[in-house]
Structure 1
Amino acid sequence: MKKDATPAEIADRMLDPRIVDASEELVHRTGMSDDDVAHTVEVMRALRRWHQASERMSEASNRYMRLNSTDMRALRFLIAAHNQGAVVTPGQLSEHLAISTAATTKMLDRLEAGHHVLRAPHPTDRRSLAITVTEHTRRDARETVGRQHARRFDVAAALVPEERDVVIRFLDGLSATEVLEDAEDGLGAG
């Protein structure tokens, strides 16, 4: 390996098991040709590029809206509920975000102070509140996150059904690795 490699070259190579796991302790490549390994590494590189682009888009939306990622997740959930005609309570929001009720209350205080959400009496449960997004915030989110989602949808829609099935199987398989790792080594124990 070159001693004068750039950070980008080093990061690119760290996805290649022929370099980072030459003895195949973790990544078993038996039966794979060098071309198959290289092609698989290209898939991993493309996945990394998507992940980096997704992070940049998310950070740009957060900066535009001047909110943190949990606030943005809350707003996206509230907008989706609004679009479905569903009423959202603080408890439901807390459950969706997997945060405590105290953290939810603080977040709602902050979002209400920033004119992003409204609290109102729940239409059918006097003990609860209904949380909604203000029209201004809904429009701003639509212009940022909504347009990004539309562009992503267009990319998926351009695939033929068989290609979509492959992508779904691939991404579901990647998602399942988290569960398998957590169950195998206890990393997910909290």
Structure 2
Amino acid sequence: MNAQRSVELTHDELVRETLLALRSLTDSLDRMHGVLKDAMGMNGTDLAALRMMVIREERGESVSPHDVARHLHISTASTTKLLDRLTTAGFVERHLHPHDRRARVVVLTKSLRQTFGQHFGTRMSPIREVVEQYDDRELGIIERFLSELSERIEGVE
């Protein structure tokens, strides 16, 4: 939708157009993740776990096996199998928790970062090109919108 057209639409119509655009975006992201999953030779759950770990790492948060299970809504047995696959593939390592020696944390490997960079980096380039078209004020609004949307979606169980 172009800026000229948005002037002609009512608020309700703009809300509908925004929701349709979000649906289209999520469909595009689903397809991109499907291609990435295939390129990396893994299943969707494994890729979702890695994406979650990358996001948490970028926030400076540690990830426990329990965090993975809760995020993916899978059992501890399934989580153990998933982490075994990712460890065997060289994508993660399990370490003792730095503050609680009884617990474990899951850490991404350099190999995963390189592999993710190879496959995901080329797909991020066009996204970055679009983002860079917006000025700082617009980016602030977009970031706030996406963050609030993510928080609300996470809050729905």
Tell me what 1:99 maps to: 74
Query: Of 49, 67, 70, which aligns to 2:42?
Result: 67
What secondary structure is seen at the aligned counterpart in 2 of 1:112?
helix
Tell me which of 107, 120, 124 is aligned to 2:99: 124
Q: What TM-score, normalized to structure 2?
A: 0.66
- Secondary structure class of the residue paired with 2:63: coil
Identify the match of residue 165 of structure 1 among 138, 141, 145. 141
Q: Which structure is higher in helix share?
A: 2
Distance 1:91 1:58, change over 3 A: same
1:56 alignment counterpart: 31
- The count of aligned residue pairs is 146
Q: CA deviation at 1:111?
A: 1.4
Q: Aligned pair in 2 of structure 1 residues 150, 97: CA closer, same or farther (>3 Å)?
A: farther
Answer whether contact 1:117 1:131 (CA < 8 A) is retained: yes
RMSD of equivalent CA atoms = 3.7
Aligned-partner Cα distance in 2 for 1:169–1:49: 17
* Structure-1 residue corresponding to 2:84: 109
Which ranges in structure 1 are unaligned for 5 or more consecutive residues?
1-34, 183-187
- Taking the aligned partners of 1:86 and 1:43, their CA distance within structure 2 comes to 32
Mark the runs of 5 or more structure 2 residues left unpaired by the alignment: 1-7
Does the C-alpha gap of structure 1 residues 71 and 45 become closer, same or farther in structure 2, counting only changes over 3 Å? same
Structure 1 segments, 4+ long, off by >4 Å, are 39-49, 166-173
Is residue 2:127 matched to residue 1:152?
A: yes
| 1:118/1:132 contact within 8 Å kept | yes
